[in-house]
Structure 1
Amino acid sequence: MAIKPLALQQGDTVGIVTLGSPLAPETINARVAYLRSMGLNVILGRYAFEENGFLAGTDRQRAEDLMDMFANDSVRLILPSRGGVGVEGILPFLDYSFIRRHPKIVSGYSDITVLLNVLSQLSGIITLHSLLLLDFKPETPPYNFEQFFTATSSNKVPRAIDNPPGKPLVGKVPGSATGTLVGGNLTSFVGSLGTPFEIDTKGKILFLEEVHEPVNTVYRYLLQLSLAGKFKDCVGIIMGECTGCQDAYGQTYEDLIEDYIVPFGKPLIADLATGHGIYKAALPIGALVNMNANNGTITILEPAIRY
């Protein structure tokens, strides 16, 4: 049974860590101020402002910051500042048994998704494919905050994952499937293949999204996942947006789904708005989910938190 962290409530403490690429100190400070204006207490990791080229400190430093947040009993939510690159580098330095005994809400997307799935697989905790610190700003759509705070503070299920109005989910291959939800950023998962931290899709519902890659590169990554058996092993597929992805050789992202994902014959839903796009649905990684491609619905059957 998946381990559920305690719910986030008004006045709780949020721990800010930078686990991949660095983020400008003025941006971190502005987002922290916005979090505080929402009634949350905030503490910063020792290396949250660190810069080591394209990484925020060494792998060990970033891992230490994360473990410190799990060890701090006052912290209810661990919120990475951004993704970028390098999150996989901290994975060998984490104590998964300790994390299992001290579960916290961990939210994020982009390169953070490799961490979300590894924490689910190795520590057994439900994590949240949702907002980063970067997203806590006045211009963030209300939909994103509604999704985030519902997932982090409500244990009511079933809960439908609905796109914003005017952006319907699209059933591409009919059928219904129920399973544990895994997934996130395509590039991040391809980078973990062949390591002790590669994504496990056996009997699971697989969700994927991508950003700023030409369609021919997206094809290469999908093919690599396919050859690794990840589509064969899963029971259903949810394709999110390919945000800012460029068409290549007359082929679009939608063409890739039709030509290379539909033929697997698994229940398939497309156009889920989450990840790098403007709108970000909150998805509990490691929780039981039903997807029904006959009517284009995604239903969360297990809460991400407990009271």
Structure 2
Amino acid sequence: MASKPLALQQGDTVGIVTLGSPLAAETINARVAYLRSMGLNVILGRYVYAENGYLAGTDQERAKDLMAMFANPNVRLILPSRGGVGVAGILPYLDYDYIRRNPKIISGYSDITVLLNVLAQFSDIVTLHSLLLIDFKPETPPYNFERFFNATSSIIVPRSINNPPGKPLIGRVPGIVSGPIVGGNLTSLVGSLGTPFEIDTRGKVLFLEEVHEPVNTVYRYVEQLKLAGKFRDCRGIIMGECTGCTEAYGQTYDDLIDDFIVPLGKPLITNLASGHGLYKAAIPIGALANLNAANGTIALLEPAVRY
């Protein structure tokens, strides 16, 4: 069973880091002010405002900021400012044994996906596919904050990963399986293949989501995961939203699921809202879950945090 970080409480300290692409200083400052208005203390990484073209500082600088947050005993939650590109570049510079001994809540999605899975795999800690700093703003749906703070502050189990009302989960291939949840953004996970940090789906429940790609490109990535054995090795599949994805050659994202995911024969649930869409369910990466594709439910068998 993976190690769990301490639960988040009112007045705890959040460490802000920029691990991929840069984010404008005014946006960072506005989101930090919103976090503070929620009763949380905030500290900023040394390179949080850094800009190095399409990256926020060098790989070593971004990695150093992340390790400093794990080393700071006052930090309870590590919140990347955004994803973008470049998160994979910090992976060789992290001390995974130190992180294992000093687990913290770390949340994100998009390009942060690769880090969430690597920390679950190499440091054996539960991470959270949920909000980034950019999501802490007044117009964020209350559902997103409810799911985030429920996951980071509560140890009550069992509980379910649910969409907001009116957006049901859909069971597409019946079956009941249990295993740790892994996955996230499809592009980021495909980028890890063939590296020392590629995703391990053996005995896992695999979750995938994507954004702003034509369906034929999504097919290319799905096929690459298939050829790499990632669908063969997993126990079950959760296909999330393909936010802003466009049709290609008259084929939709749902067509792709019907034609290439359903025939895999693994228990399959679709339509989970987490990641780039408006609504963001909180998914603890590395935590045990039960996927019941007969009735379209995902139950967590352990919390993401501890007291």
| TM-score normalised per structure 1 | 1.00
* 1:115-126 alignment, distance < 5 Å: 115-126=115-126
Aligned to 2:109: 109
Secondary structure at 2:118's aligned position in 1? helix
Aligned to 2:53: 53
- 2:179 is aligned with 1:179: yes
Paired with 2:231 and 2:289, the residues of 1 have a C-alpha distance of 17
Shift of the alpha carbon at 1:4?
0.3
Paired with 1:47 and 1:8, the residues of 2 have a C-alpha distance of 24
What amino acid is aligned across from residue 172 of structure 1 in structure 2? R
Deviations 1:81-130 (A, max 9, x none): 00000000000000000000110000000000100000000000000000
Deviations 1:191-220 (A, max 9, x none): 010000000000100000000011000000
Paired with 1:158 and 1:283, the residues of 2 have a C-alpha distance of 14
Aligned to 1:208: 208
Paired with 1:45 and 1:17, the residues of 2 have a C-alpha distance of 5
Shift of the alpha carbon at 1:162?
1.1
Aligned to 1:12: 12
Paired with 2:195 and 2:117, the residues of 1 have a C-alpha distance of 14
- 2:245 is aligned with 1:245: yes
Aligned to 2:288: 288
Paired with 1:13 and 1:147, the residues of 2 have a C-alpha distance of 19
Root mean square deviation of aligned Cα: 0.4
Aligned to 2:306: 306
Paired with 1:195 and 1:156, the residues of 2 have a C-alpha distance of 37
Query: % of aligned pairs identical?
Result: 80
Deviations 1:209-233 (A, max 9, x none): 0000110000000000000000000
Structure 1: segments with no counterpart, 5+ residues: none
Aligned to 1:192: 192
Consecutive aligned runs of 4 or more in structure 1 exceeding 3 Å deviation: none
Secondary structure at 1:66's aligned position in 2? helix
Aligned to 2:154: 154
Paired with 1:161 and 1:124, the residues of 2 have a C-alpha distance of 22
* 1:60-75 alignment, distance < 5 Å: 60-75=60-75
Structure 2: segments with no counterpart, 5+ residues: none
Deviations 1:237-278 (A, max 9, x none): 000000001111000000010000001100000000110000
Secondary structure at 1:280's aligned position in 2? coil
What amino acid is aligned across from residue 86 of structure 2 in structure 1? G
Secondary structure at 1:258's aligned position in 2? helix
Paired with 1:213 and 1:93, the residues of 2 have a C-alpha distance of 31
Shift of the alpha carbon at 1:67?
0.2
Aligned to 2:91: 91
Deviations 1:20-65 (A, max 9, x none): 0000000000000000000000000000000000000000000000
Aligned to 1:34: 34
Secondary structure at 2:84's aligned position in 1? coil
Secondary structure at 2:107's aligned position in 1? strand
Paired with 2:41 and 2:22, the residues of 1 have a C-alpha distance of 22
What amino acid is aligned across from residue 212 of structure 2 in structure 1? H
What amino acid is aligned across from residue 242 of structure 1 in structure 2? C
Paired with 1:281 and 1:189, the residues of 2 have a C-alpha distance of 19
- 2:278 is aligned with 1:278: yes
Shift of the alpha carbon at 1:161?
1.0
| TM-score normalised per structure 2 | 1.00
Aligned to 1:133: 133
Paired with 1:233 and 1:162, the residues of 2 have a C-alpha distance of 25
